[in-house]
Amino acid sequence: MAKEILKFECETGNYHTFCPISCVAWLYQKIEDSFFLVIGTKTCGYFLQNALGVMIFAEPRYAMAELEEGDISAKLNDFKELKRLCMQIQKDRNPSVIVWIGTCTTEIIKMDLEGIAPLIEEEIGIPIVVARANGLDYAFTQGEDTVLSAIAHRCPELNEKDKNNESNLIFKNFFKSYTKKTNLPLVLFGSIPNIVANQLTSELKHQGIEIAGWLPSSRYDELPALGEGVYVCGVNPFLSRTSMTLMRRRKCQLIGAPFPIGPDGTRAWIEKICTVFNKEPIDLKQREEKIWSTLEDYLELIKNKSVFFMGDNLLEISLARFLIRCGMIVYEIGIPYMDKRFQSSELKLLEETCQKMKVPIPRIVEKPDNYHQIQRIRSLQPDLVITGLAHSNPLEARGITTKWSVEFTFAQIHGFTNARDILELVTRPIRRNSSLKNLGWSKLVKI
Amino acid sequence: MKLAYWMYAGPAHIGTLRVTSSFKNVHAIMHAPLGDDYFNVMRSMLERERDFTPVTASIVDRHVLARGSQEKVVENIIQKAQQEKPKLIILTPTCTSSILQEDLQNFVNRAAINSHCDVLLADVNHYRVNEFQAADRTLEQIVRYYLEKANQTNELSQTKTIKPSANIIGIFTLGFHHQHDFREIHRLLQDLGIQVNQVLPEGGTIESLKNLTKAWFNIVPYREIGLMTAQYLEKSFNMPYVATTPMGIVNTALWIREIKNIIKDNCEIDIEQYIDKQTRFVSQAAWFSRSIDCQNLTGKKAIVFGDATHAASITKILSQEMGIRVSCAGTYCKHDADWFREQVRGFCDKILITEDHTHVGNIISEIEPSAIFGTQMERHVGKRLDIPCGVISSPIHIQNFTLSYRPFLGYEGTNQIADLVYNSFTLGMEDHLLEIFGGHDVKTVITKNLSTNDNLQWSQAALGELNKIPGFIRNRIKRNTEKYARDNNIKEINIETMYAAKEQYTG
The total number of structural domains in chain A stands at 3
Instruction: Test B6 with A85 for CB contact under 8 angstroms.
Output: no
Residues A245/A152, Cβ–Cβ less than 8 Å = yes
| 3-class secondary structure, B458 | strand
Return the number of other C-beta atoms located less than 10 Å from residue A240's C-beta: 20
| Assigned domain for A272 exists | yes
Residues of chain A contacting residue B5, judged by C-beta atoms under 8 Å apart: 56, 60, 63-64
Please state, as a whole number, how many other Cβ atoms lie within 10 Å of the Cβ of residue B254.
Answer: 16
What's the distance, Cα to Cα, between the start and end of chain B in Å? 43
Interchain proximity B34–A19, CB inside 8 Å: yes
Q: Which residues contact B261 (CB under 8 A, 6 or more apart)?
A: none
**Do A290 and A269 sit in the same domain of this protein?**
no
Q: Is the pLDDT of residue A413 over 80?
A: yes
Which pLDDT value is given to residue A1? Answer: 44
- Report the alpha-carbon distance of residue A94 to residue A112 in Å, rounded: 24
Contact A401, A430 (CB under 8 A): yes
In a domain, A305, yes or no: yes
In a domain, A151, yes or no: no
Q: What is the pLDDT of residue A249?
A: 95
Confidence category of residue B432, pLDDT binned at 50, 70, 90: low
Q: Is the sign of the CA dihedral B117, B120, B126, B129 positive or negative?
A: negative
Position A154: which residue type?
A: R
Same-domain check for residues A33 and A126:
yes
Share of chain B above pLDDT 90, in %: 66
Contact B56 A371 (CB under 8 A): yes
Please provide residue A290's backbone torsions phi and psi, each rounded to the nearest 5 degrees.
-65, -40
Q: Is A430 within the bounds of a domain?
A: yes
Domain that holds residue A32: 20-138
Q: Tens digits of per-residue pLDDT, B446-455? A: 444 444 456 7
- What would the mean pLDDT of A199-208 be, rounded to a whole number? 94
Assess if residue A5 is contained within a domain. Answer: no
DSSP state of A94: -
| Residue A176, phi-psi category: left (phi > 0), alpha (psi -120 to 50), beta (remainder) | beta
Pairing of strands B195-201, B301-306: unpaired
Pick the CATH number of B12-131 from 3.40.50.720, 2.140.10.30, 3.40.50.1980, 3.40.710.10: 3.40.50.1980
The rounded distance, in Å, linking the Cα atoms of B277 and B142 is 40
Chain A nearest-CA residue for B378: A57
**Among B424, B204, B203, B394, which residue's Cα sits nearest to residue B303?**
B424
**Alpha-carbon gap: B465 to the closest alpha carbon of chain A (Å):** 33
Q: Are residues A43 and B36, on separate chains, in Cβ contact within 8 Å?
A: yes
Better pLDDT: B127 or A236 = A236
Query: Tell me, what CATH number does A30's domain have?
Result: 3.40.50.1980
Proportion of chain B in helix, strand, coil states, percent, rounded to 5: 50, 15, 35
CB contacts, 8 Å: A106 with chain B:
none
Residues of A in contact with B44 (CB under 8 A): 389-394
Least Cα separation, residue B377 to chain A (angstroms): 8
Fold classification of B165-279 (topology level): Rossmann fold (3.40.50)
Residues A260-300: pLDDT tens digits? 999 999 999 999 999 999 999 999 999 999 999 999 999 99
pLDDT digits (tens, 9 = 90+) for B377-414: 999 888 888 888 999 999 988 888 999 999 999 999 99
Three-class DSSP category at A40: strand
Q: Give the span between the Cα atoms of B149 and B120, in whole angstroms.
A: 13
Question: Do the domains spanning B12-131 and B165-279 agree at the CATH topology level?
Answer: yes
CATH topology of domain B286-436: Rossmann fold (3.40.50)
Closest CA to A76 of A88, A64, A62, A66: A66
Where does A126-260 have alpha helices with state H?
142-152, 158-164, 166-175, 194-206, 240-244
Q: Report how many Cβ contacts below 8 Å link chain A to chain B.
A: 158
Residue A288 shares a structural domain with residue A375: yes
Active site residue B419: no
Neighbouring C-alpha atoms within 13 Å toward the C-beta of B501: 23
Q: Is A23 annotated as a binding residue?
A: no
Contact B9, B130 (CB under 8 A): yes
Q: What is the pLDDT of residue A175?
A: 45
A331 and A380 within one domain: yes
Q: What is the CATH number of domain B457-506?
A: 1.10.8.550
Test the B interface: residue of A23, A35, A50 with most B CBs within 10 Å = A50
Closest CA to A265 of A292, A242, A298: A292
CA distances from B481 to A319, A365, B393 (A): 60, 68, 35
A428 and A296 assigned to the same domain: yes
Residue of B nearest to A51 (CA): B38
Q: Quote the CA–CA distance of A231 and B54 in Å, as a whole number.
A: 49
User: How far is Cα B15 from Cα B9, in angstroms, rounded to an integer?
Assistant: 9
Q: Are residues A258 and A346 in the same domain?
A: no
- Residues A355 and A228 grouped into a single domain: no
Domain range list for chain B? 12-131, 165-279, 286-436, 457-506
ipTM of the shown complex: 0.90
Alpha-carbon distance B379 to B200, whole Å? 31
A4 domain residue, yes or no: no
What integer pLDDT is reported at residue A3 of this predicted model?
45
- Please name every residue paired with A234 in a beta bridge, in sequence order, or none if there are none: A189
pLDDT digit string, tens, across residues A103-145: 999 999 999 999 999 999 999 999 999 999 999 999 999 999 9
SS3 of residue A10 by DSSP = strand
φ/ψ (deg, to 5) at B3 = -80, 115
- Give residues with Cβ within 8 angstroms of A202, minimum separation 6: none
> What pLDDT, on a 0 to 100 scale, did the predictor assign at position B453?
53
Say how far apart CA A31 and CA A208 lie, in whole Å. Answer: 28
Q: Which of A259, A277, A295 is the C-terminal boundary of a domain? A: A277
Instruction: Tell me whether residue A1 is exposed, middle or buried, using C-beta atoms within 10 angstroms of its C-beta: 0 to 12, 13 to 18, 19 or more.
Output: exposed
Q: Domain check: are A128 and A166 in the same one?
A: no
Q: Which residue of B has its CA nearest to A52?
A: B6
**Within-domain flag for A441:** no
The mean pLDDT of chain B is 90
Instruction: With CA atoms as reference, report the closest residue to B170 among B133, B213, B206, B139.
Output: B139
Tell me which residue of A326, A329, A325, A295 sits closest to A309, measured CA to CA. Answer: A329
| Torsional class of A108: left (φ above 0), alpha (ψ -120 to 50), beta (otherwise) | alpha
φ/ψ of B438, rounded to 5, equals: 80, 5
Subunit contact A64:B48, Cβ cutoff 8 A? no
Q: Does residue A409 share a domain with residue A306?
A: yes
The response to whether A86 counts as a known ligand-binding position is no
Same domain membership, residue A352 and residue A256: no
Catalytic residue (choose from B293, B356, B386, B419): B293
Q: Across chain B, how many H-helices and E-strands are there?
A: 23, 16
Q: Is residue A56 part of a domain?
A: yes
Q: Are A103 and A76 in contact (CB under 8 A)?
A: no
Q: What is the average pLDDT across A223-248? A: 96
Domain C-terminal end among A277, A296, A326: A277
Which amino acid, one-letter code, is at B58? S
Q: What is the 8-class DSSP label of residue B318?
A: I
Of A19, A68, A397, the CB nearest to B2: A68
Buried b (16+ CB within 10 A) or exposed e, A52-82: beebbbeebbbbbbbbeeebbeeeeebeebb
CB atoms within 10 A of CB A397: 17
Verify that A294 and A423 share a domain, yes or no: yes
Comparing A56-70, A375-389, B273-287, which segment has the lowest mean pLDDT? A56-70
Residues A171 and A268 in one domain: yes
Residues A317, A333 contacting (CB under 8 angstroms): yes
Q: Cα(A22)–Cα(A73) distance, rounded to whole angstroms?
A: 27
Residue that terminates a domain, selected from A239, A262, A277 = A277
Which SS3 state, helix, strand or coil, does residue A56 take?
A: helix
